[in-house]
Amino acid sequence: MSKFSLKNKIAIITGGGSGIGESIGKVFAEQGAYVNILDYHVDQANKVLEAIEKNGGKGKSISCDVSNRKQVIEVVDEIAKPDGIDILVNNAGVSHIGNLDNTSEADFDRIFSVNVKGYFHVMMACVKHMKEKGGGAILNMASIAASIGIPDRFAYSASKGAVKAMTLSVAVDYLKDNIRCNSISPARVHTPFVDDFIARNYPGKEKEIFDKLSKTQPIGRMGKPDEIAHLALYLCSDEASFITGNDYLIDGGFINLAV
C-alpha cells in the first residue's frame, strides 16, 4: 500500500451498493480506507460491506436517499463524528431514456432530484467537515453524455452536464480550504444496470444488443467497473494532490478517436 494508500482515510461512497460504486468501495477498502457505503437499497450495501470485511477491510453500510437533504445531513454528520471525512465519491444516480418531446416533467424532476440535487446535498454536507479537518477530496461521477450528444438521453445528459459544472465551481471555491474536486466521465460500463436495461427493453435480443453497445466504443468493448475504480483511487489519493477542477474521460476512445 505504499502507493495510492488511503490508510486512515474516512471515505463516503454514494450508490455504493452495486456496479461502479461497489468496485470503488472495495478498491478503497483494499487500500486502507474506512469505507461508508451509502445506498438507497441498503440490502445491496450490506452485501458489499460483507465482501469488504471478508477481505480484511473496514467500513459501514448505511441506507440513504441522496435526494432527501435532511437525511443526507444527518447521515453525513453521524459519519463525521469520530474522525471527520476525507473523501467523498458522488456516484449515486438514475438514468432515463427519452428526448425533449417525450420526457415528462416528472421524469425530468426525478433525474435532477438524484443526479444533481443529490450531489449537491452530499457535497454540501461533507464540505464543512472537510474544512474542519484541513482538506479533502471530492470525486463526482459525470458521463460522456455531458460532453457529446447521445440520442434519447435528454434529461440524463442535462443532469451530467450540471455535474461537470458543479465540479468546477466547487473546485475553485474551496481551493483555499485544501479541498480538491474532480469528476470522471465514463462511457458504457458493464454493470448489472446495463444487463437489466437490455433485458427490459430488448427481450430475446440480449446478446445482439450487448454486442452492439459494446462496439460503439472504439476499443471494442464496454468498460469494467474496476477500471473506473482504479482511476477513482488515483484521483482521491495523495498522489493526485496537484489535481483539481478536471474531468477525466474513461471511454475507450469514444469521444476523441474517429474510427
With a CB cutoff of 8 Å and minimum separation 6, the contacts of 159 are 93, 111, 112, 115, 116
Domain identity same for 19 and 125: yes
Which sequence positions are flagged as catalytic?
A: 156
Domain assignment of residue 133, yes or no: yes
pLDDT for 259: 60
Structural domain containing residue 240: 10-187+224-249
Domain identity same for 20 and 128: yes
pLDDT for 201: 81
Question: How far is 112 from 125, CA to CA, in rounded Å?
Answer: 18
Domain identity same for 63 and 84: yes
Cβ atoms of 15 and 220 within 8 Å: the answer is no
For residues 216-239, average pLDDT: 96
Domain assignment of residue 5, yes or no: no
Domain identity same for 213 and 93: no
Domain identity same for 84 and 14: yes
pLDDT for 194: 87
Confidence of residue 105 (pLDDT cuts 50, 70, 90): very high
Cβ atoms of 58 and 4 within 8 Å: the answer is no
The phi and psi torsions of 105 (rounded to 5 degrees) equal -60, -35
Domain identity same for 59 and 75: yes
For residues 70-87, average pLDDT: 97
Confidence of residue 192 (pLDDT cuts 50, 70, 90): confident
The pTM (predicted TM-score) of the whole model is: 0.95
pLDDT for 128: 97
CATH number at residue 20: 3.40.50.720
For residues 147-153, average pLDDT: 92
Confidence of residue 200 (pLDDT cuts 50, 70, 90): confident
For residues 48-75, average pLDDT: 98
Domain identity same for 125 and 178: yes
pLDDT for 26: 98
User: Within 13 Å of residue 72, how many CA atoms lie on the same side as its CB?
Assistant: 24
Question: Any long-range contacts for 73-78 (C-beta under 8 Å, 24+ apart)?
Answer: 73/121, 73/125, 75/38, 75/125, 76/12, 76/122, 76/125, 76/126, 76/129, 77/125, 77/129
Provide the mean pLDDT of the chain.
Answer: 96
Domain assignment of residue 2, yes or no: no
Confidence of residue 239 (pLDDT cuts 50, 70, 90): very high
Confidence of residue 258 (pLDDT cuts 50, 70, 90): low
